[in-house]
């Protein structure tokens, strides 16, 4: 069974603004990484994300970053593999200019272990990335932080 997933949504802002809202640590911390991001998502770097509502930190190893095009990183799967060892999944953000003020963002995550915990974790992360995309839209288009007060 393939546990990979892909979600997408349109954001009514120029591609450079949308890309920067994911890449820039100050901006992503304003709507998603509520405990802070340690640095921009530069290729070859390892950035730490922290969430006020989930225990962290979460190291994010950036494999590829092309301005206004894509960001690809590795991070730890939620649960260890069947042998009890941690493993990584790959997250890919693709930014596509649809018009001057309209950007399509596609987020995919691949590399889940084909197991019950891999299935549960991939479903949880697909929900999390959809939430992130919704928060990104609200922040970039309206300056609203949807995560404020959302979680305990």
User: Where is pLDDT greater, at 151 or 98?
Assistant: 98
For range 26-36, the mean pLDDT: 94
For residues 121-140, average pLDDT: 96
Options 3.40.50.300, 3.30.530.20, 3.40.47.10, 1.10.287.990; CATH for 5-142 is 3.30.530.20
Is residue 6 predicted with pLDDT exceeding 80? Answer: yes
The domain ranges of the chain are 5-142
pLDDT at res. 152:
67
pLDDT at 15 over 70: yes
E-strand spans in 4-53?
5-11, 36-37, 46-51
């Amino acid at each position: 069974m393939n546990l990979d997933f892909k979600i997408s949504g349109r954001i009514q802002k120029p591609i450079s603004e949308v890309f920067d809202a994911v890449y820039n640590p100050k901006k992503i911390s304003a709507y998603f990484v509520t405990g802070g991001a340690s640095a921009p998502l530069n290729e070859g770097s390892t950035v730490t994300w922290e969430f006020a509502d989930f225990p962290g930190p979460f190291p994010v190893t950036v494999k590829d970053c092309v301005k206004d095009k894509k960001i690809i990183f590795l991070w730890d799967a939620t649960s260890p593999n069947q042998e009890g060892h941690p493993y990584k999944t790959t997250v890919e953000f693709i930014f596509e200019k649809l018009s001057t003020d309209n950007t399509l963002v596609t987020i995919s995550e691949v590399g889940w272990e084909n197991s019950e915990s891999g299935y549960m974790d991939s479903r949880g992360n697909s929900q999390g990335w959809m939430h992130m995309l919704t928060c990104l839209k609200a922040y970039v288009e309206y300056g609203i932080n949807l995560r404020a007060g959302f979680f305990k």
